[in-house]
């Protein structure tokens, strides 16, 4: 299961458009249970949009 599937609580097929997960707050398992708010840089859908527009990362 990929990261978006875990965050959204439902299967996210990798052959379909990736959903935006930016703005979601989660409890990190690797961060000692700290609450983390995902930024656009953490979102594969945002990265795809930047790449198609030609924006630098």
Q: Is pLDDT above 60 for 1?
A: no
The predicted pLDDT at position 56 comes to: 63
pTM score, two decimals? 0.62
What does the alpha-carbon distance between residue 26 and residue 14 come to, in Å, rounded to a whole number?
21
Each residue's pLDDT tens digit, 13-56: 878 888 888 988 888 777 677 888 888 888 888 888 888 887 66
């Amino acid at each position: 299961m990929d990261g978006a599937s875990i965050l959204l609580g439902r299967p996210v097929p990798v052959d379909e458009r990736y959903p935006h997960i930016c703005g979601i707050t989660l409890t990190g398992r690797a961060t000692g249970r700290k609450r983390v708010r995902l930024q656009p840089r953490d979102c594969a859908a945002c990265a795809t949009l930047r790449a198609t527009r030609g924006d630098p990362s």
